[in-house]
């Protein structure tokens, strides 16, 4: 007696593409997402912030702070780069730059230059020190 043979499954046909629903007009009870210009306010001068500029909170969030400012102040208790703040908030770099410029003007945060690695000392200086120590 031989064991029954297994049959291979046939691949399923791909499902038909789902139709894209037409854009709906906002009704009274639905809340639409806010536009980025409502978060940033009027576009004025921006602070010279780079992607690697470190942001550190200087104050606790006040009751009058916007939700975005409150989140930034809580996140930046330890230094964070502008790129990290932008990624955590899920906002474009330009929007975060305007938001941080307002916060810098209000002295809620500080901007620090990124920590740069120091250059290695000159090889000839190291050799001179090594020879001087060997003579001792």
pLDDT tens sequence across 85-131: 888 888 888 888 888 888 888 888 888 887 666 666 778 888 889 99
Distance, in Å, from the CA atom of 64 to the CA atom of 5, rounded to the nearest integer, reads 73
Distance, in Å, from the CA atom of 85 to the CA atom of 88, rounded to the nearest integer, reads 5
Helices and strands counted in the chain (H then E): 5, 3
Mean pLDDT (whole number) for 77-83: 87
Burial-class residue 47 by CB neighbours within 10 Å (0-12, 13-18, 19+). Answer: middle
Most confident of 39-48, 74-83, 114-123: 74-83
pLDDT for 51 beyond 70 = yes
Residue 70: the pLDDT is: 84
Model's pTM, two decimal places? 0.54
Residue 20: the pLDDT is: 66
């Amino acid at each position: 007696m031989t064991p029954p043979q297994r049959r291979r499954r046939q691949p399923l046909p791909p499902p038909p593409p789902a139709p894209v629903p037409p854009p709906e007009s906002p009704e009274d009870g639905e809340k639409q997402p806010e536009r980025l210009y409502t978060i940033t306010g009027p576009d004025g001068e921006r602070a010279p912030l780079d992607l690697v500029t470190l942001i550190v909170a200087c104050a606790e969030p006040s009751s009058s702070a916007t939700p975005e400012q409150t989140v930034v102040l809580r996140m930046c208790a330890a230094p964070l780069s502008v790129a990290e703040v932008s990624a955590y908030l899920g906002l474009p770099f330009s929007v975060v730059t305007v938001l941080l410029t307002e916060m810098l003007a209000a002295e809620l945060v500080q901007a620090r230059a990124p920590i740069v690695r120091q250059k290695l000392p000159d090889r000839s200086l190291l050799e001179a020190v090594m020879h001087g120590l060997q003579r001792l």
